[in-house]
Amino acid sequence: MNSGTDTGLSQANTLFESYFGYKASHHSQAPGRVNLIGDHTDYIDGFVFPAALSLKTSFSFAKNNSNQVTAVSSGVGSETVFELNGSQVEDWGKYLAGVAWAFTEAGHTLSGLDIAIHSNVPTGSGLSSSAAIEVAAARAWRKIDNLDISDVELALLCKKAENDYVGIPCGILDQFACSVPDIGQAVVLDCKSLDYEVVSIPSEWLFVVINSNAQHNHDDSGYETRVKECQAIAEALGLEGLKGLRNLQADDAAKLSDATLQKRARHLFSENARVELAKTAMQSADAKHFGELMTESHISLRDDYQTSADAPDELMDACISFEGCHGSRITGGGFGGCVVSLINKKDKDAFVKHVLAQFPQGSYEAEVSA
């Protein structure tokens, strides 16, 4: 196998050979993602606007002629072993076992594999490290078992793994963004129809992702609590579940007697509207407007949805205090993690220097541009 100059793949290859004592026959990869705008709108069937990152999770693998998966990861440092169709896996192998379970439920027959994983998608940072591992695993089985599954179907199977096996009530944002767009592509996705549109990033724009290095953890209850609050909003308004919130309007929020639910609802409808406005701003190369929408989104997540945290708030303040920064926001599930900012390409070095001087515990993570 020729892994070219991809260091992630060659590290996965090296790990495979040293761990299993033979050479891998195949490889697969999946990117992390940054969400440019539209957070916590996917599980209400709304709109999101992510881009696939050049940070990737790389798998080297081979059939092991058994009914078992043995996987090792350079990041985790411990192996996971499980039987296909066996009992529930509790360690980090749950992401692989969840994908295997979802594929099997959909009627596919899978091979047992030896797998070595190397990832440079940071965990707990809002850049979809879990979805990247799920999509890389799904691509591995699609390839080695010649399964006829489209990229969108693959994303849906990975979401099923995350919802019904791993047990996180997430929407489709992460698995879609890690499966469907090419690296560097920004897409607006309608989470109801799964129709999506690739939107060209204007040539002088640069989205820079800085990590606050304050970790979030979806196993903590914050994310689930928000999903439950959305269910409560739907009930109070007599709507049919989470998906009924897609068309929420300002006057619906006013009908809610609970002040917390009112704030949550205000985020949902304003954020959903911002995605459409951001698409138009990008299409017309209006960096000022796109940036304003990003900053409004951060304020909404901070004050109304309350899924930000001190570290990303301070980091966002540092980003926005740079004169050429058009706008800045926390990205992903929240409660920590990364902040994404829109600047002009020419300002990159000055921007990163300015931000890290103000927020030294941060680190540059990634960027997206045309």
> Using CB under 6 A as the criterion, which residues of the chain lie in contact with ligand GLA when the complex forms?
35, 39-40, 42-43, 170-171, 173-174, 332-333
Considering the complex, what minimum distance in angstroms separates the CB of residue 350 from ligand GLA?
30
Single out the catalytic residue among 42, 114, 174, 252: 174
3-state secondary structure the chain: CCCCCCHHHHHHHHHHHHHHCCCCCEEEEEEEEEEEECCCCCCCCCEEEEEEEEEEEEEEEEECCCCEEEEEECCCCCEEEEECCCCCCCCCCHHHHHHHHHHHHCCCCCCCEEEEEEECCCCCCCCCHHHHHHHHHHHHHHHHCCCCCCHHHHHHHHHHHHHHHHCCCCCCHHHHHHHCCCECCEEEEECCCCCEEEECCCCCEEEEEEECCCCCCCCCCHHHHHHHHHHHHHHHCCCCCHHHHHHCCHHHHHCCCCHHHHHHHHHHHHHHHHHHHHHHHHHCCCHHHHHHHHHHHHHHHHHHCCCCCHHHHHHHHHHHCCCCCCEEEECCCCCCCEEEEEEEHHHHHHHHHHHHHHCCCCEEEEEECC
Q: Which is nearer to ligand GLA, 213 or 331 (CB)?
A: 331
| CA 59 – CA 325 distance, rounded (Å) | 37
Q: Which is nearer to ligand GLA, 139 or 218 (CB)?
A: 218
| CA 276 – CA 124 distance, rounded (Å) | 28
Q: Is the distance from CB of 330 to CB of 312 less than 8 angstroms?
A: yes
Considering the complex, what minimum distance in angstroms separates the CB of residue 89 from ligand GLA?
20
Annotation marks residue 174 as catalytic: yes
Q: Which is nearer to ligand GLA, 291 or 332 (CB)?
A: 332
Q: Which is nearer to ligand GLA, 184 or 222 (CB)?
A: 222
Q: Which is nearer to ligand GLA, 43 or 205 (CB)?
A: 43
Considering the complex, what minimum distance in angstroms separates the CB of residue 227 from ligand GLA?
9
Q: Which is nearer to ligand GLA, 134 or 367 (CB)?
A: 134
Considering the complex, what minimum distance in angstroms separates the CB of residue 73 from ligand GLA?
20
Considering the complex, what minimum distance in angstroms separates the CB of residue 12 from ligand GLA?
24
Considering the complex, what minimum distance in angstroms separates the CB of residue 151 from ligand GLA?
17
Which residues are tagged catalytic? 174
